């Protein structure tokens, strides 16, 4: 893997007419990574946290996501079951093998059938958490890892996401700041998801579920 990586990087350097990094250039890049410059932040993302939460809900629903709000994390399983019943959707769920999800009282919902694993072809409903919500566009920021397989975000027709309001930030820059503040290595993949999958490529007619879930439902947890 390291040899293939070096070959790929060498090809890019040749295309850019650059040689191997010298000491000065390496220090410059490491400094930039340690102290990244922030881009312009839209005015609508600069309000109080309560205003950011309201903005996030408004923008998420504008993007055709649906949102339910609950007071406590332990209320989330009942909200998930109620959404599935309301929409007449399957009760078989594939769920991220995440410790925070596992700690919730899913056993209280006897009609739910839960498997904790990555999604496979044919799975209909997935449940995950998100790393953050980005208020300026109603977007979810999801990070890949052993406890959050990326397939859960894209393969099932219905993607349900649990998001505490405390994890909503104003801008994309704030989301990156939050991720850097964890002090952990960057995840292999970061996905930004705004509403269900859609495409207008075919006869300029909007089609949902073109490249991913038909439905994106968020359970917003206030505490």
Tokens of 204: 């300029």
Q: Tell whether the model's pLDDT for residue 93 goes beyond 80.
A: yes
- Which tops the pLDDT comparison, 33 or 93? 93
Tokens of 209: 């579920």
pTM summary value: 0.85
Residues near 211 by Cβ (< 8 Å), separated by ≥ 6? 154, 197, 199
Domain range 44-221, its CATH number among 3.40.50.300, 3.40.50.720, 3.40.720.10, 3.40.50.10420: 3.40.50.10420
**Confidence grade of residue 33 (pLDDT, cut at 50, 70, 90):** confident
Question: What phi and psi values does residue 135 have, to the nearest 5 degrees?
Answer: -65, -35
- 159, 119 Cβ separation under 8 angstroms: no
Domain boundaries, given as residue ranges, for the chain: 1-35, 44-221
**What would the pLDDT profile of 104-161 be if each residue is shown by its tens digit?**
999 999 999 999 999 999 999 999 999 999 999 999 999 999 999 999 999 999 999 9
Calpha distance 168→174 (Å, rounded) = 9
Q: Tell whether the model's pLDDT for residue 209 goes beyond 80.
A: no
Burial of 4 (0-12, 13-18, 19+ CB in 10 A): exposed
Q: Tell whether the model's pLDDT for residue 99 goes beyond 90.
A: yes
Q: Tell whether the model's pLDDT for residue 103 goes beyond 60.
A: yes
- Which tops the pLDDT comparison, 2 or 205? 2
**Confidence grade of residue 206 (pLDDT, cut at 50, 70, 90):** low
């Amino acid at each position: 893997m390291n040899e293939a990586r070096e070959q790929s990087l060498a090809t890019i350097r040749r295309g850019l007419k650059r040689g191997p990094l010298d000491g000065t250039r390496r220090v410059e890049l490491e400094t930039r990574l340690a102290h990244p410059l922030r881009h312009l932040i839209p005015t609508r993302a600069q309000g109080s946290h309560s205003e950011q939460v309201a903005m996030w809900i408004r923008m998420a629903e504008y993007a055709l996501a649906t949102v339910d709000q609950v007071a406590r994390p332990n209320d989330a399983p009942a909200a998930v079951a109620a959404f599935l019943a309301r929409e007449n959707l399957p009760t078989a769920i594939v769920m991220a093998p995440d410790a925070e999800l596992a700690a919730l009282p899913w056993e209280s919902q006897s009609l739910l059938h839960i498997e904790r694993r990555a999604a496979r072809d044919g799975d209909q409903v997935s449940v995950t958490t998100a790393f953050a919500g980005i208020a300026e566009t109603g977007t979810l920021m999801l990070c890949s890892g052993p406890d959050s397989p990326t397939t859960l975000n894209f393969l099932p027709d219905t993607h349900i996401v649990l998001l505490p309001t405390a994890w909503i930030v104003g801008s994309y820059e704030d989301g990156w700041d939050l991720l850097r503040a964890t002090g952990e290595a960057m995840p292999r993949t970061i996905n930004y998801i705004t509403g269900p999958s859609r495409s207008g490529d075919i006869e300029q007619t909007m089609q949902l579920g073109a490249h991913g879930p038909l439905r994106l439902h968020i359970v917003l947890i206030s505490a």
